[in-house]
Structure 1
C-alpha cells in the first residue's frame, strides 16, 4: 500500500492546483467553469519561471533538454 510520500511531486502539484484555483471555494458551479479554470491555471503554471529550472519556465527548459539530447558532437 502506497503513501503520499511515494509520489510527493504529484501531491505537491495537486495541492498547488487546488489552492490556486479553488481559492477557498468548495467547488465550481459547472463543469465548463472547472475546465476553464484548469486550463488557465495550467497555462500560467507552464509559463511562469521556476527556480528548479534555472529561472526558466517549463516549456523552454524542456525544449533545451530536447535540443541537447539530439545534438551530436562532431568528431575531430
Structure 2
C-alpha cells in the first residue's frame, strides 16, 4: 500500500521537505514504531532518496565518503 505523493511529481522544495521530515523522524520510528510502520518509513525513505538521486545524478560526492577516502582516514 503506497502512501504519500508520488516523488516524481513533488517540487524540489517539497522533495527536500519530505526527506528532511523522514530523517528527523527516523530514530523515533526505529525505536518506537511497529514493524509495519518502520517498514513503511524505510520504503518511503528509499522512494524519496531514489527520486533525489534521479534528479541529481551529478551531485557532489565528498572524497572522504569514497572507499579511498575512508581508507586514508583509517
Structure 1 or 2: larger helix share? Answer: 2
Same fold (TM over 0.5): no
Output the TM-score relative to the length of structure 1: 0.33
Output the TM-score relative to the length of structure 2: 0.33
Larger Cα-atom Rg: 1
